[in-house]
Structure 1
Amino acid sequence: MLQTSNYSLVLSLQFLLLSYDLFVNSFSELIRMAPVIQLVLFIIQDIAVLFNIIIIFLMFFNTFIFQAGLVNLLFHKFKGTIILTAVYFALSISLHVWVMNLRWKNANNFVWTGGLQTLFVLQRLAAVLYCYSYKRTAVRLGDPRFYQDSLWLRKEFMQVRR
């Protein structure tokens, strides 16, 4: 079972990683003149999203629902966040690769193709949705119902058996 002190630490780590993601999304365009620094920020941002994915799955594995064998129920409850996180991760990597390919040799030029603008807008829109759904999921996983046997869980189990 996830203890309160452990949950607070995990939640703080998740929020720290989300804050870094928000910081890079907000200010990475301001340092386009230094492509090496921008590349390092992008790599750390992608690793932070990957760590958030790993942390959320570890929290899933720690629940009583998962340990009782109701994996499908758990993933059904949080499938929106799982899918959105995967889409956001793919969009972020795509945007980072495209931006670095266009700007690496000549950082002084302000290059914005139509496709890059579209990808930029989609990635930023996905970032907002990702932050909201991820925070919501992280907080919802603190619910004690997920970590102990309860009447709610037994009802869900009976519905799955039918």
Structure 2
Amino acid sequence: MLQTSNYSLVLSLQFLLLSYDLFVNSFSELLQKTPVIQLVLFIIQDIAVLFNIIIIFLMFFNTFVFQAGLVNLLFHKFKGTIILTAVYFALSISLHVWVMNLRWKNSNSFIWTDGLQMLFVFQRLAAVLYCYFYKRTAVRLGDPHFYQDSLWLRKEFMQVRR
């Protein structure tokens, strides 16, 4: 079971990683003249999203619901967050690769293609949704009914068996 002190530490780490993601999304375009720094920020951002994915799955594995074998129940409750996180991660990596390919050799000129602009908009929209749903999931996983046997869980288990 996730202890209160551990949960607050994990939640703080998740929010720190989300804050870094927000920071890079907000200010990375200001560093287009220095592609090396921008590349390092992008790599750290992608690693932060990957760490958030790992942390959320570790939180899933730690629940009583998962340990009772109701993995489908967890997946059903948090399907939107899981899918959105994967889409956001893919969009972020795609955007970072495209930006670095266009700007690495010629960082003094402003290069902004139509496709890059479209990917940029979709990635930023996905970032807003990712932050909202990820934060909501992280807070919802702090609910004690995920970590102990309860009437709610028994009802869900009986529905799965039918």
Residue in 1 that maps onto 2:8: 8
How many residue pairs get aligned? The number is 162
Instruction: State the percentage of identical aligned residues.
Output: 92
Residues 69-90 of structure 1: CA distance to partner in whole angstroms, max 9, x if unpaired? Answer: 0001111100000000000000
Residues 40-77 of structure 1: CA distance to partner in whole angstroms, max 9, x if unpaired? Answer: 00000000000000000000000000000000111110
RMSD: 0.3
CA distance in 1, matches of 2:78, 2:94: 25
CA distance in 2, matches of 1:32, 1:112: 11
Tell me the TM-score normalized by structure 1: 1.00
CA distance in 2, matches of 1:116, 1:6: 41
CA distance in 2, matches of 1:158, 1:110: 60
Unpaired segments of 5 or more residues in structure 1? none
Q: Offset of 1:17 from its aligned partner?
A: 0.1
Residue in 1 that maps onto 2:143: 143
Q: Offset of 1:38 from its aligned partner?
A: 0.1
Give the match's secondary structure for 2:97: helix
Q: Offset of 1:147 from its aligned partner?
A: 0.0
Unpaired segments of 5 or more residues in structure 2? none
Q: Which moved more, 1:107-116 or 1:56-65?
A: 107-116
Residues 5-35 of structure 1: CA distance to partner in whole angstroms, max 9, x if unpaired? Answer: 0000000000000000000000000011000
Q: Offset of 1:108 from its aligned partner?
A: 1.1
Q: Offset of 1:97 from its aligned partner?
A: 0.1
CA distance in 2, matches of 1:123, 1:159: 38
CA distance in 2, matches of 1:157, 1:114: 50
Tell me the TM-score normalized by structure 2: 1.00
